[in-house]
Chains A and B, each alone.
Chain A
Amino acid sequence: MEIEITAEEREAIKTTVAEALEKNSYRRDRLLPILQEVQGRLGYLPREAMEQIASSLKIPEVDVYSVATFYNQFRLNPPGEHQIKVCMGTACHMAGGHIIMDSFARRLNIKEGETTPDRKFSLERVACVGCCALAPVVVVNENVEGKVRPTRVDGILMALGKEIGKKNEEEKR
C-alpha cells in the first residue's frame, strides 16, 4: 500500500537527503551511513530519498533498494502514530506470535512492515523484547502487552482510538 506524501514532506526529504549526501562527501562507500542518517532524521527511507541518493551517487536505484531491504534496521514506510511491534522471538513464535501478527494485519488491512494510509498505525515484527514468560508479546508504543490472544487484538486497537465495527454498520445502512 502506497503512502501519500505531501509537498511539504517532499521538500523535507529533499533537503535531508542533500545534507546527508553532503556530510558524506557523495562517496559511494558511504551509502550505509547516508541511509542511516536519512532514516535517523525522517524515521524511514522514502522511495524519493532512495531515488535521489542513487542519482547523486551515480549508482543504480536497485542497489540502494538492495541495501535498504537487506538490513532489518531500515524501514520503507513511515512510522505510524501508534507503533505496534509483534514479537517473533523463539518463545513468542512457539506461542503463536505469527497468529497475532496475522490478526493485526487483517484488522489494520496492512502487511507486516507497512503503515496504514492514514498513518495511524504501523505494524512491525521484532526479534525478542525480553519477557518471554509473557509470550506471545506485543509492544504497543512503549507498553508491553503479554499473553496476547487474537481476541485481545481488537481491544488493543480500540484503546488506541481505532473504530472497529462502526464502518460495517454504516455500510449496512
Chain B
Amino acid sequence: MSRQVTITIDGQQVTAAEGDKLLWVALDHGIYIPHLCGIREKEHPDASCRLCFVEVEGLPNPVTSCTLPVKEGMVVRTRSERVDRLVRTAFELLLSNHRLSCAKCGKNGRCELQKIAQERGLKLKLTRMRSLLVEKPVDDSPEKFYYDPNRCVLCGRCVWADREKAKIGAIGFVRRGMDRRVAAFWEQPLADSPCIECLACVEACPVGALVAKEMKE
C-alpha cells in the first residue's frame, strides 16, 4: 500500500493514498467537485469536460483535479472566482450543444448536468451563447435502451465501459469538431452493431443520451 498523506480541501483535513487523483479523494470525502468525463480506473484521464477545476496553493492557475495526484500538505480550494468562471463557461459550452428539454428526458432527476447546475448554482439554459444543436435522429433500435445523440456530452464514459467493462468494441467516437459523436461502425443503428445490450454503457452515461427503456414509462 502506498504512503498515506494528509491534505486540506476547503479547510477540511483528509487523508488519502499518495498519488491518488484529487477528484476522487475529494468525492470520497463527501466534497463535491463537478465532473463528467472522469473515470476512476483510468490512469491517464482525458480531462476533456473542463468542469473539475480547483485552486491549489502554490500553483499559479486553476488545475483539473482529475489529473492531479495528491501530495503531502497540499492545500486545495474547490471554489474561487476563477474556478467558477471556468466551470460556468465550460458548462454553458456543453449546454450549447445539448437538447435542453429536461421534462421530456429519460434521465430527468438523475442527470449529472442537473446535479452540477444545482451544486454550483448554474442555470440549465443558455444565457451568453446561442444553441448550436443540430437535431440528430434518436437510435431506438436496441431492445433494452435507446440512444439520443442530441443529449450526448461526449464524455466518453460509454466508450470506455464498452471497451474495458463489456469488452465488446461496438461504439466509438466518429468524425470530428462539431460533427463529433458516439456511434457504431458506419453510423449504423446499434442493433446492427456488435452490441450485445449488456447495458454497461447505459450505466456509465451521466446524462440522457443512453437510457434504459423500462425507465421511460
Contact = CB atoms under 8 A, between A and B. Distances in A.
Interface stretch (B33-41, B83-91, B121-129, B182-190): B182-190
A64 B194 CA distance: 15
A90 interface: no
Interface residues of B, number: 16
A61 B185 contact: yes
Contacts of A51: 185
Given A60-B169, A60-B194, A65 B185 contact: yes
Contact of B176 (A50, A54, A70): A70
A59 interface: yes
Contacts of B171: 62
A88 to B, nearest CB: 13
Contacts of A60: 168-170, 172, 185, 194
B174 interface: yes
A62 B172 contact: yes
A15 interface: no
Given A47-B186, A60-B194, A61-B185, A66 B172 contact: yes
Given A63-B172, A66-B174, A70-B176, 15 more contacts: A51-B185, A54-B185, A59-B169, A60-B169, A60-B170, A60-B185, A61-B185, A62-B172, A63-B169, A65-B172, A65-B174, A65-B185, A66-B172, A70-B174, A70-B175
* Shortest beta-carbon contacts, A-B, top 7: A60-B169, A61-B185, A62-B172, A62-B185, A69-B175, A66-B172, A69-B174
Interface of A: 47, 50-51, 54, 59-66, 69-70
15 contacts: A47-B186, A50-B185, A54-B185, A60-B170, A61-B186, A62-B174, A62-B184, A64-B185, A65-B172, A65-B174, A65-B185, A66-B173, A69-B174, A69-B176, A70-B175
